Amino acid sequence: MDHSVKLRHTVDALFGTGVSKFLPKNFEIKLSKKTGRIRSVFDKEKLLLTSRSDGGLAITIHCAKLFLKSKKFQENCLHIDKESNEFVKDGKSVFCGHVTSCGKNIKIGSDVPVLYKNQVIGVGKSVLSSKMIMSQNRGVAVKIR
């Protein structure tokens, strides 16, 4: 299978059907020299995403901004309040008490874009599922990368 087709299928499986349409037309795929697998994807020398050891994709803020145009992708996003905005921009974790809303597609260990006023301010790995995040007022919800 062609690497670009495989990438598009993986993006659709992880973030929702049709999200891969928002990938740039001329993205560049870097492959691992040892395994031949996709290592990273670039758009005009800007990193979009890298592959994780568990088979998932680690997206960047730039990639999340591109995907944010998709309604399906917004089910993977987490919205925070004004108080924690600056902390997240500095790379600190998001706590459950500061989450205003979150998409229903957030699962433990998934990549989660963090939004403030519909602008992507960070991307991290979810520690809890969406139901758990909204039901709790304490504890870490997302660890920012």
Residue 140's pLDDT is 95
Reported as a single tens digit per residue, the pLDDT across 57-87 is 899 999 999 999 999 999 999 999 999 989 9
Same domain, 92 and 36: no
CATH of the domain at 130: 2.30.130.10
Residue 67's pLDDT is 93
Count of the separate structural domains present in the chain: 2
Residue 20 domain-assigned (yes or no)? yes
Domain span at 41: 3-67
Same domain, 140 and 81: yes
* Low-confidence residues in the chain, pLDDT < 50: none
From 36, 67, 98, the end of a domain falls on 67
The verdict on pTM exceeding 0.75 is yes
Q: Around 26, how many Cα atoms within 13 Å sit in the side-chain half-sphere?
A: 2
Residue 72 domain-assigned (yes or no)? no
Residue 53's pLDDT is 84
